[in-house]
């Protein structure tokens, strides 16, 4: 092991691209120890602490050949990942890298492939976090993409082929930012989980995530006192959309880290602490697409569920879902195939996972949101929720079409209202859900944190024995 402080004092302001500077900025002050002495390989790796938690990190050296990866540099990355797996600590990669070293030819490609293989070996065994601080092109694009969480600063760019190649091959005029900056990857492609306005912000997010995943803590129901009136965060009108994020914030001990905030925003996925322990929260967001599940959001949630399961992070699922988004676009987008991922992810998950229905859960989306049938540890519901195949008015229009048609027009609305009330009572009310056992208990909003904490604490700790393929 090498000490980081060189014998001679530095005289100039350090280059911000210097990997040693970047690693120091990532770790707690004074904790960086290099895994191997600095060399010309284009990669520097070290161990250190983040909020006192041991973490291993590697950083491509953008001051040498644009950070391009060669055999030696790739070897450092593989060693760092293997060490993290041996020591069971998170591994963070800082990326600013133009791809494979051209002058090393196919041996460099082979080396980059070995980095990918190491990442896949480590997948689901230790948390892998990538921070993209500059261009990460070609092989360097797939490095971050194979890891659990990708954070991108304002200067980060990820693409397979750069603007020059795009122009020469297809004639398309496009710059690096539009091709692979925070906007396209944060909002459109889903490659990036978190975007930040600068490098310091990106490293801070990486620290937060590494601490959450590296030191998960234990649930302590005694710490589940509730200060926020969660029920007051829902609108009084049941058909009015609302933002679910304040509800998530009120449920967690402190604000968590939202992943994929702008991509598929109709589902919210957040890592945070709950009663002292790291949990993953998955919530429908009625503010976006009415909270419907669709192809992208199901895939986003599925990947999050599988990541949490493989890393032993319990799940809290907040349900307020009107159904799957209907339409041609969705069917052609693979809502069946991609929606199936969410069913698969929940059904195979062995971590404790508690569902809370806050307002409604309808149809196939009800099943997909960690229902009793998929093996939820507990399913709670707030009073007056509706759980049904579809909303009562729609069901009445189908089930009682003939009755309604035979009713004189003047009385039809009254008849429909009566039938809807009856439909809710016999088919969609929470009492029926309790009777058949798909809801375990009705909890008051004011008692929600305590009951969820007890349910999570009472379940045996477990961890899925699988990797985290980037679904």
Report if residue 261 touches other proteins, rule: CB under 8 A. Answer: no
Using the minimum distance from each CB to other proteins, give the nearer residue, 14 or 255. 255
Q: How far is the CB of 290 from other proteins (least distance, A)?
A: 4
Report if residue 467 touches other proteins, rule: CB under 8 A. Answer: no
Residue 23 φ then ψ, to 5°: -65, -40
Report if residue 245 touches other proteins, rule: CB under 8 A. Answer: no
Q: Which of 3, 9, 240, 436 binds other proteins (CB under 8 A)?
A: 240
103-132 positions binding other proteins, by CB under 8 A: none
Report if residue 325 touches other proteins, rule: CB under 8 A. Answer: yes
Cβ neighbour number for residue 438 with a 10 Å cutoff: 20
Question: Which of 87, 70, 80 is CA-nearest to residue 34?
Answer: 80
Q: Which of 189, 239, 403, 431 binds other proteins (CB under 8 A)?
A: 239
Q: How far is the CB of 56 from other proteins (least distance, A)?
A: 37
Q: Does residue 270 contact residue 261 with C-beta atoms inside 8 Å?
A: no
Q: Count the residues of the shown chain that bind other proteins, applying the rule CB under 8 A.
A: 19
Encoding tokens for residue 412? 């039809």
Report if residue 292 touches other proteins, rule: CB under 8 A. Answer: yes
Using the minimum distance from each CB to other proteins, give the nearer residue, 45 or 292. 292
Q: Which of 127, 322, 428, 445 binds other proteins (CB under 8 A)?
A: 322
Q: How far is the CB of 136 from other proteins (least distance, A)?
A: 26
Using the minimum distance from each CB to other proteins, give the nearer residue, 243 or 447. 243
Report if residue 446 touches other proteins, rule: CB under 8 A. Answer: no
Q: How far is the CB of 400 from other proteins (least distance, A)?
A: 17
User: CA end-to-end span of the chain, whole Å?
Assistant: 37
Question: Which of 200, 199, 182 is CA-nearest to residue 191?
Answer: 182
Report if residue 399 touches other proteins, rule: CB under 8 A. Answer: no
- Is there a catalytic annotation at residue 364? yes
| Residues making up the chain, counted from first to last | 471
Report if residue 246 touches other proteins, rule: CB under 8 A. Answer: no
Report if residue 394 touches other proteins, rule: CB under 8 A. Answer: yes
Q: Is 169 left (phi over 0), alpha (psi -120 to 50) or beta?
A: alpha
Q: Is 27 left (phi over 0), alpha (psi -120 to 50) or beta?
A: beta
- Judged by CB under 8 A, the stretch of 120-128, 170-178, 195-203, 321-329 that binds other proteins is 321-329
Q: Which of 22, 24, 96, 288 binds other proteins (CB under 8 A)?
A: 288
Question: What is d(CA 259, CA 127) in angstroms, rounded to the nearest whole number?
Answer: 15
Question: Which of 48, 98, 91 is CA-nearest to residue 73?
Answer: 98
Could you write out the three-class secondary structure of 76-107?
HHHHHHHHHHHHCCCEEEEEEECCECHHHCHH
Report if residue 97 touches other proteins, rule: CB under 8 A. Answer: no
Q: Are strands 194-195 and 157-159 parallel, antiparallel or unpaired?
A: unpaired
- Is there a catalytic annotation at residue 365? yes
- Judged by CB under 8 A, the stretch of 289-297, 430-438, 441-449, 451-459 that binds other proteins is 289-297
Q: Does residue 286 contact residue 228 with C-beta atoms inside 8 Å?
A: no
Contacts of 246 (CB under 8 A, 6+ apart): 233
- Is there a catalytic annotation at residue 180? no
Q: How far is the CB of 92 from other proteins (least distance, A)?
A: 29
Question: What is d(CA 285, CA 300) in angstroms, rounded to the nearest whole number?
Answer: 13
Report if residue 181 touches other proteins, rule: CB under 8 A. Answer: no
Q: How far is the CB of 448 from other proteins (least distance, A)?
A: 23
- Is there a catalytic annotation at residue 458? no
Of the listed 42, 134, 138, 272, which one is catalytic? 138
Question: What is d(CA 95, CA 211) in angstroms, rounded to the nearest whole number?
Answer: 20
Question: What is d(CA 54, CA 56) in angstroms, rounded to the nearest whole number?
Answer: 7
Using the minimum distance from each CB to other proteins, give the nearer residue, 17 or 359. 359
Question: What is d(CA 92, CA 326) in angstroms, rounded to the nearest whole number?
Answer: 40
Using CB under 8 A, list all residues that contact other proteins. Answer: 237, 239-241, 286-292, 322-323, 325, 327, 329, 391, 393-394
Active site residues: 138-139, 364-365
């Amino acid at each position: 092991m090498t000490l980081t402080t060189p014998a001679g004092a530095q005289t100039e302001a350090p280059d911000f691209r210097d990997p040693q500077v970047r690693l120091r900025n990532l770790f707690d002050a004074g904790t960086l120890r290099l895994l191997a002495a600095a060399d010309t390989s284009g990669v520097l790796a070290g161990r250190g602490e983040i909020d006192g938690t041991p973490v291993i990190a590697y950083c491509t050296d953008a001051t040498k050949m644009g950070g391009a990866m060669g055999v030696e540099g790739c070897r450092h990355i593989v060693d760092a990942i293997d060490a993290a797996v041996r020591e069971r600590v998170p591994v963070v990669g800082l990326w600013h890298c133009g791809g494979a070293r051209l002058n090393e030819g196919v041996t460099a490609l082979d080396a980059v492939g070995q980095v990918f293989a190491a990442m896949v070996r480590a997948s689901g065994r230790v948390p892998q976090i990538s921070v993209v601080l500059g261009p990460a092109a070609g092989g360097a694009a797939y490095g971050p993409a194979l890891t659990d969480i990708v954070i991108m600063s304002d200067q980060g760019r990820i693409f397979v082929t750069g603007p020059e190649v795009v122009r020469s091959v297809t004639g398309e005029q496009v710059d690096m930012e539009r091709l692979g900056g925070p906007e396209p990857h944060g909002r459109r492609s889903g490659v990036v989980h978190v975007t930040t306005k600068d490098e310091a912000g990106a490293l801070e997010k990486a620290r937060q995530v590494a601490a959450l995943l590296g030191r998960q803590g234990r649930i302590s129901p005694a710490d589940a006192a509730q200060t926020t009136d969660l029920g007051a965060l829902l609108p009084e009108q049941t058909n009015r959309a609302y933002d679910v994020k304040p509800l998530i914030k009120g449920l967690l001990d402190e604000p968590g880290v939202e992943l994929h905030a702008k991509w598929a925003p109709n589902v919210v996925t957040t890592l945070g602490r709950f009663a002292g322990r790291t949990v993953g929260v998955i919530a429908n967001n009625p503010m976006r697409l009415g909270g419907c599940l669709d192809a992208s959001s199901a895939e986003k949630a599925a990947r999050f569920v599988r990541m949490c399961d493989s890393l032993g992070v319990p799940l809290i699922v907040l349900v307020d879902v009107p159904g799957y988004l209907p339409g041609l676009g969705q069917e052609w987008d693979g809502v069946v195939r991609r929606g199936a991922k969410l069913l698969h992810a929940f059904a195979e998950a062995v971590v404790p996972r508690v569902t809370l229905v806050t307002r409604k859960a309808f149809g196939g989306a009800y099943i997909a949101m960690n229902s009793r049938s998929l093996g939820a540890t507990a399913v709670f519901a707030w009073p007056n929720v509706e759980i049904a195949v579809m909303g009562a008015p729609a069901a009445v229009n189908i089930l009682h079409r003939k009755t309604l048609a035979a009713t004189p027009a003047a009385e039809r609305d009254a008849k429909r209202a009566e039938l809807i009330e009856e439909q809710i009572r016999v088919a969609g009310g929470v009492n029926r859900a309790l009777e058949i056992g798909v809801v375990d208990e009705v909890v008051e909003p004011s008692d929600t944190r305590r009951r969820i904490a007890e349910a999570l604490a009472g379940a045996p700790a477990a961890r899925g024995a699988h990797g985290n393929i980037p679904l």
